[in-house]
Amino acid sequence: MLTQAKKEFIEFMMGADVLRFGEFVTKSGRNTPYFVNTGNYRTGLQSSRLGEFYAALVKETVGDGFDAMFGPAYKGIPLVTTAAGALARSYGIDKPFFFNRKEAKDHGEGGSIVGYKPKDGDRVIIIEDVITAGTAVRETMPVLSACADVKVTDMFISVNRCEFGQNPEKTAVMEVEEEFGIRVHALVTVRDIYEYLQSRADYAHLLPLMEDYMKRYCI
């Protein structure tokens, strides 16, 4: 169901040129008529507003029931930073955050983790942009396992593309939940985006493309 909050987030992404329509190829190699690029957020106001959207979802779903927040490099870095700030500012939930480097640092303090140093038993939530085929999640879990014996409980993303992953009968989100025990929460889904486009006559030409893509890849 397209709620007012979801409508506002979709328009926010479109206004920031983060949600785009055209011809794109996803990380999993699928040709898609829409693409979400959180790397296009580029102003202080956009970053602040984005953090508020994420923080509201975190507060609504897990509250303060976690120990730290992780943002996978690279796009997860500004996401986890702004979400952590908004959680503290808006809800008084002040939690540590950390992220990884793509290449381990071999000088100074060294290592591949920046920010909070997780401890055994920590409950960690991940702040990410999208899940398409689950590829990024499978790259992230070894990074966290190498830090400490942490428990990743929840993952927060901008858009759930609702696409099947390695198994054509299950979405990538279902696979992540089954394989890693991680609950995935999305600000919006592809169906929310499609429903929004249905309400806009100027986007009518996109509907057949969206329908075809959803028919081929979505569950």
Residue positions forming the annotated binding site for orotate: 132, 161
Residue 185 falls in the annotated catalytic set: no
What are the angstrom distances between the C-alpha of 123 and each of 16, 92, 115, 152, 210? 32, 19, 16, 6, 37
Are 122 and 67 contacting, i.e. CB atoms less than 8 angstroms apart? yes
Pick out the residues of the known binding site for 5-phospho-alpha-D-ribose 1-diphosphate.
Answer: 27, 74-75, 101-102, 105, 107, 128-136
Catalytic residue (one of 6, 59, 95, 107): 107
Q: Could you tell me where the beta strands, DSSP code E, fall in the chain?
A: 19-25, 31-36, 68-71, 97-105, 111-115, 123-127, 130-131, 151-160, 183-189
CA distance 2 to 188: 9
What residues pair up with 218 in beta bridges, in sequence order?
163
Q: Which two tokens stand for residue 108?
A: 């100074």
Catalytic residue among 105, 119, 151, 170: 105
CA distance linking residue 64 with residue 174, whole number of Å: 24
Q: List beta partners, residue 157.
A: 186
> Among candidates 152, 138, 141, which has minimal Cα distance to 67?
152
Residues of the binding site? 27, 74-75, 101-102, 105, 107, 128-136, 161
Q: Which residues are catalytic?
A: 105, 107
